[in-house]
């Protein structure tokens, strides 16, 4: 792949990942959190399901159950935590906490998959969690928003382990489509039952919902998987640390958010930790790369 084309796609996909936090926070003006993210992923899941209709689908009920469970963690759990956190903390802080998930993956994979890691990987985990500590303000400030931000990282990490364990059973695009759809439907039901639904329909809210569903979900996933398949998966995954950078940047540009200096310092350590966890994976270890 052409080097400049590769860099362009990396910037595009990570900017879509990161900016979705700020765009989502704007959307909360018009739509209640769970309903917004439910609409986003139900629409995205339906579109993707139509696109993969001719690809091989699971035949066993147990395999559909695995996809459903993956969707509960990857889409419903992660996105519910993110969008609920956006009510009380800046989009940039939520993105930093959410994208600390590769650090948690190393711990879970070591415990439940028996994965072996080098010293540099564990050093990355230590540095990264020091960054999370700083991001929370030098102390465990157990605010609802920050805890939900951490919760999104934990849910994403669990989903990563499930995908690592079961992903070979499915066509990756079929798995992506239906875990999105199942997770989106769960979020949609929660948005209509456990919160007071709010839906203001105007050009801005429709644009935000469609942007989140198409650009920040379908297009972003397609580019990311393409990069993982075409390039060095280990090195490509290391660039996920750009996503929270774009999360902070878009929060500043679109929302005028002022982030405390210690959040930037904590974010820098988290990026460094993720870099250490990912960058040292060799091509031989690509198959075990979990981020």
Looking at residue 284, its pLDDT comes to 44
Dump pLDDT digits (tens) for 75-89: 999 999 999 999 988
With 70 as the cut, is the pLDDT of residue 143 above it?
Answer: yes
Confidence of residue 164 (pLDDT cuts 50, 70, 90): confident
With 80 as the cut, is the pLDDT of residue 231 above it?
Answer: no
With 70 as the cut, is the pLDDT of residue 286 above it?
Answer: no
Q: What is the DSSP letter of 74?
A: I
What's the 3-state SS for 78-123?
HHHHHHHHCCCCCHHHHHHHHCCHHHHHHHHHHHHCCCCCCHHHHH
How many distinct structural domains can be found in the chain?
Answer: 1
Residue 139: count other Cβ atoms within 10 Å of its Cβ.
8
Cα atoms in the Cβ-side hemisphere of radius 13 Å centred on 130: 11
Q: What is the mean pLDDT of residues 187-213?
A: 96
Q: What is the DSSP letter of 29?
A: T
Confidence of residue 176 (pLDDT cuts 50, 70, 90): very high
Looking at residue 285, its pLDDT comes to 46
DSSP string across 130-159: HHHHHHTTSS----HHHHHHHHHHHHHHHH
**Can you give the residue range of the structural domain that contains 56?**
3-288
Rounded Cα–Cα distance for residues 217 and 264 (Å): 26
With 90 as the cut, is the pLDDT of residue 219 above it?
Answer: yes
**Residue 279 burial by Cβ neighbours in a 10 Å radius (0-12, 13-18, 19+):** middle
SS3 199: strand
Structure tokens given for 193: 């039952």
Looking at residue 279, its pLDDT comes to 64
Looking at residue 90, its pLDDT comes to 87
Looking at residue 249, its pLDDT comes to 87
The Cα-based distances of 256 to 19, 33, 260 in angstroms read 13, 21, 13
Q: What is the pTM of this model?
A: 0.85
Structure tokens given for 178: 């239906």
Residue that wins the pLDDT comparison between 52 and 107: 52
Looking at residue 237, its pLDDT comes to 67
Q: What is the mean pLDDT of residues 100-107?
A: 84
Looking at residue 287, its pLDDT comes to 44
């Amino acid at each position: 792949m052409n080097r400049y084309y590769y860099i362009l796609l990396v910037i595009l996909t990570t900017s879509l990942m990161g900016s979705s936090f700020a765009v989502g926070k704007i959307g909360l003006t018009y739509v209640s959190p769970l309903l917004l993210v439910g609409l986003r992923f139900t629409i995205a899941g339906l579109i993707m399901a139509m696109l993969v209709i001719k690809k091989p689908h699971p035949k066993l009920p147990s395999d559909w159950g695995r996809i459903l469970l993956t969707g509960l963690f990857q889409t419903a759990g992660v996105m519910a935590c993110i969008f609920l956190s956006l009510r009380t903390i800046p989009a940039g802080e939520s993105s930093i906490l959410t994208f600390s998930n590769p650090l948690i993956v190393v711990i879970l994979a070591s415990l439940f998959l028996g994965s072996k890691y080098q010293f540099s990987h564990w050093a990355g985990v230590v540095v990264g969690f020091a960054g999370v500590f700083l991001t929370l303000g030098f102390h465990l400030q157990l605010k609802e928003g920050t805890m939900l931000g951490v919760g999104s990282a934990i849910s994403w990490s669990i989903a990563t382990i499930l995908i690592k364990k079961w992903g070979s059973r499915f066509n990756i695009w079929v798995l992506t489509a239906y875990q999105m759809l199942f997770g989106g439907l769960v979020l949609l039901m929660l948005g209509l039952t456990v919160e007071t639904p709010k839906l203001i329909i105007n050009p801005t809210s429709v644009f935000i919902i469609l942007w989140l569903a198409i650009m920040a979900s379908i297009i972003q996933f397609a580019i990311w998987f393409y990069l993982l398949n075409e390039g060095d998966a280990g090195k490509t995954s290391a660039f996920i640390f750009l996503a929270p950078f774009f999360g902070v940047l878009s929060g500043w540009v679109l929302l005028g958010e002022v982030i405390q200096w210690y959040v930037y310092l904590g974010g820098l350590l988290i990026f460094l930790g993720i870099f250490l966890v990912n960058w040292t994976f060799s091509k031989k270890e690509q198959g075990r790369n979990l981020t």
